[in-house]
Structure 1
Amino acid sequence: MREIEITDAKELLELCLKLDKETQFMMLEEGERQQAVDKQQDQINRVLSTHNQIIFIATNGDQIVGYLGAYGGEYRRNAHSAYIVIGILKDYIGQGIGTRLFQTLEQWAYKCGIHRLELTVMAHNLQAFALYKKVGFTIEGIKKHSIHIDGSYVDEYYMVKLL
């Protein structure tokens, strides 16, 4: 686990493209993601230059196999809150990577004054839901018909953890 660097842009983009292809639990569908490395570098640079935002990556050798991004509010009234996005390659799920990413995130959040962590998870994504409960998130609400996948509407749980 480590903080992302600008030089990781190409590998992070490749990871996200793989995730778009292998799972329906991420927001973007295959072919929907912008595929320019310079755009990924710009996004990483914006995150790293903002005090309440971060991306952590999990690696296996030189390959990025998972990431967790925390995107803090941009105003004084919501700067204490960070929205979480996490993605781990299918072959690496169940190996404790998600738990370690969340532990790393919490250490960072305490240092940065983040008080509220929030995320959404599709109601039928039982593995992710179990991970989020394990690391202390609770359901705050249900977003009915929040996502549209393969002609069907899917509910999402809105989950939160207060630090």
Structure 2
Amino acid sequence: MIIKKKEFTIKGLACTIRSAQPDDAAYLSKIRVQIDGETENMDREAGEAFITPSEFEQLIKHDSADPKNLFLVALVDHKIAGFSRCEGNHLKRLAHKAEFGVCVLKKYWGLHLGPHLLQESIAWAETIHLKKITLNVLETNEKAINVYKRFGFEVEGILRNDNYLSDGCYYSTLVMGRLNV
């Protein structure tokens, strides 16, 4: 689905949240690898599950046409700084919910782009009458967990020893959900 873009200023920087466009694909392919290498909060190592520009373009086109999906980009001074995606489901028993994920380049951490992307995703979910948004977050990502809780998400489960990180330790994943009632 495509939403109306939102513009705002954070710390003197012009910011925009808008739907991803096919011409964003090459840059999204590049920064996804970069983001994966900048933090261990993602499910992937840098370069794993690589999405080519062509694959990103197809994903953007699919999500733009599907009312159950939302692919957003966050721009700072007209340059993509992060993105988020909500993926719904067309199976009757699961059609009431969507899964949310977000990525922001480390250079732009602290500008609250993640919360802005989340806020727009929640507004979209309410507009199309979804009853639930879910997400997974690494147990050590306390900043993100606190943001999600501030937006009404609750821990619904724990996937124990779900991630093996570079320090040689296993970490759990929190499954969080937000009901739109």
Do both proteins adopt the same fold according to a TM-score greater than 0.5, normalized to the shorter chain? yes
**Corresponding residue to 1:89 among 94, 105, 113:** 105
Q: Which amino acid aligns with 1:122?
A: L
Q: Distance in 2 between matches of 1:143 and 1:53?
A: 25
1:131 matched residue in structure 2: 147
After TM superposition, list the pairs within 5 Å mapping 1:57-76 onto structure 2.
57-76=73-92
Structure-to-structure mapping, 1:19-38, within 5 angstroms: 19-38=35-54
Deviations 1:63-115 (A, max 9, x none): 21111110012311111110111111122222221221111111111121211
What is the alpha-carbon root mean square deviation over aligned residues?
Answer: 1.4
Match of 2:169 among 140, 147, 152: 152
| Residues 71 and 85, structure 2, Cα contact 8 Å, conserved in 1 | yes
**Aligned partners of 1:33 and 1:63: how far apart in 2?**
24
**Range moving further from structure 2, 142-151 or 18-27:** 142-151
Give unmatched runs, 5+ long, in structure 2.
Answer: 1-16
Q: Does the C-alpha gap of structure 1 residues 35 and 103 become closer, same or farther in structure 2, counting only changes over 3 Å?
A: closer
Which residue number in structure 2 is paired with residue 162 of structure 1? 179
Aligned residue for 2:157, secondary structure, equals strand
Partner Cα distance (1:40, 1:29) in 2:
18
Sequence identity, in percent?
Answer: 27
CA contact (8 A) 2:63 2:70 kept: yes
Report the AA paired with residue 109 of structure 2.
Answer: I
What residue number does 1:55 align with? 71
Q: Could you tell me how far 1:61 is from its partner in structure 2?
A: 2.5
**Partner deviation per Cα, 1:117-147 (whole Å, 9 max, x = no partner):** 0001110111111111111111111111112
Q: Give the aligned partner of residue 104 of structure 1.
A: 120
- TM-superposed CA distance for 1:33, in Å, is 3.4
Distance in 1 (CA, whole Å) between partners of 2:74 and 2:84 is: 9
Query: Are the equivalent residues in 2 in contact too, given 1:65–1:89 (CA < 8 A)?
Result: yes
156, 159, 180: which one aligns with 1:143: 159
Contact 1:67/1:86 (8 A) holds in 2: yes
- Matched residues in 1 for 2:142 and 2:122: separation? 23
Alignment TM-score, normalising by the size of structure 1: 0.93
Worse-superposed segment, 111-120 or 143-152: 143-152
Q: Normalization by structure 2: what TM-score?
A: 0.84
Query: Separation in 2 of the partners of 1:54 and 1:117?
Result: 12
Secondary structure of 2:90's match?
coil
Instruction: Evaluate the alpha carbon distance shift between residue 68 and residue 35 of structure 1 in structure 2; reply closer, same or farther with a 3 A threshold.
Output: closer
Q: What is the alpha-carbon distance in structure 2 between the residues aligned to residue 101 and residue 160 of structure 1?
A: 16
Asked if structure 2 preserves the Cα contact closer than 8 Å seen for 1:17 and 1:33, the reply is no
Q: How many residues align?
A: 163
SS in 2 for 1:154: strand
Which amino acid letter does the alignment assign opposite residue 121 of structure 1?
V
Structure 1 unmatched ranges of 5 or more: none
